[in-house]
Amino acid sequence: MSFLRVERQIDVTRLTLARADVRNAFNSEMIAELTATLRQLATEPELRVLVLAADGQTFCAGADVNWMKSQRDVSQAENLLDAQRLFDLFRATYEFPKPVIARVQGGAFGGGAGLICCSDIVVMAENALTAFSEVRLGIVPATISAFVLRKLGEGRARELVLTGRRISAQECLRIGLANEIVADSQLDDAVARWTNELLLSSPTAQVVTKELLRAVPRLSLDDAREFTATRIAKQRVSQEGQEGLSAMLERRAPSWSPVK
């Protein structure tokens, strides 16, 4: 891969954006590479936690400005297809079946902020910044909007996407964009703590729970009744469901737990 690095360690895979010379900004090749890698990793049963990281001083500057400018020279159909591919990248992150931790240093702007909104846990350096900065460049936060609204809600998102202002790590924590802020030197330790917390839970239960989180808010109560009842009925008689219940009754750690 030209723009990414994948490192596997037992249950945890670290996917690193490796285009530090341009602050890990997206171009069409990087978008394709990242989307394909996410889709491949999603099929790996041994993977339990995905850590999304980045080389250099900036997590992700969003779309490469030179790439965006070059779209004026392509056909309307190709311009539209490129935008759809960018949406597909965010969707692949948002719908990733296993927990995703974003390790954010420096800054996450535009599409980089979109990646934060698509992640489950966000650990941010205390001096990091983020912004939905598209409007300040004369463009719009279109492909990330579905995921920003799901993360923040319309009321909070309106101010941030209309002003494009920079948001400190402390404010990210306050409004729910970040789960923890730490010194830059402590990012890896914080990611390790969150990873250990996630590994205590049943792998299949986490997959089903992520499905619930995505689907239930957009269901009517009648549809939610059927959808949720089906999920719990199936999970509690599954192998992991029975193992977890047995472990509680027997006062021992379940088989998937790293703590014995």
How confident is the model over 231-246, as pLDDT tens digits? 999 999 999 999 999 9
As a whole number of angstroms, the distance between CA 216 and CA 212 comes to: 5
134 pairs with which residues across the strands? none
Could you confirm whether 134 is annotated as catalytic? yes
**What's the rounded Cα separation, in Å, for the pair 41 and 125?**
26
> What pLDDT band is residue 1 in, cutting at 50, 70 and 90?
confident
pLDDT of 72 reads 82
Q: What is the pLDDT of residues 42-53, one digit of tens each?
A: 999 999 999 999
- Is the pLDDT at 260 greater than 80? The verdict is no
* CA–CA gap between residue 168 and residue 72 (Å, rounded): 33
Which residues does 215 contact at the CB level (< 8 Å), separation at least 6? 227
The pair of three-digit structure tokens given for residue 13, joined into one six-digit string: 């895979």
Distance CA 91, CA 132 (A): 18
Model confidence pLDDT, tens digit, residues 171-191: 999 999 999 999 999 999 999
Q: Which whole number is the average pLDDT over 16-37?
A: 96
Tens digits of per-residue pLDDT, 57-106? Answer: 999 999 888 887 887 888 989 989 999 999 999 999 999 999 999 999 99
- Selected catalytic residue, list 33, 44, 46, 134: 134
Q: Would you kindly state where each structural domain of the chain is located, as residue ranges?
A: 4-199, 203-249
Residue 127 has a pLDDT of 98
Percent of the chain whose pLDDT exceeds 70:
100
List, in sequence order, every residue forming a beta bridge with 103; answer none if it has no partner. 123
Where b means 16+ CB within 10 Å and e means fewer, 180-210 reads bbbeeeebeebbeebbeebbebbbbbbebeb
- Give the pLDDT band of residue 167 (cuts 50, 70, 90): very high
CATH number given to 4-199: 3.90.226.10
Which residues, in sequence order, are bridge partners of residue 235?
none
Residues forming a β-bridge with 123:
103, 180
The answer on pLDDT for 256 being more than 90 is yes
Percent of the chain surpassing pLDDT 90: 92
Q: For the whole model, what pTM was predicted?
A: 0.96
pLDDT in tens, 105-118: 999 999 999 999 99
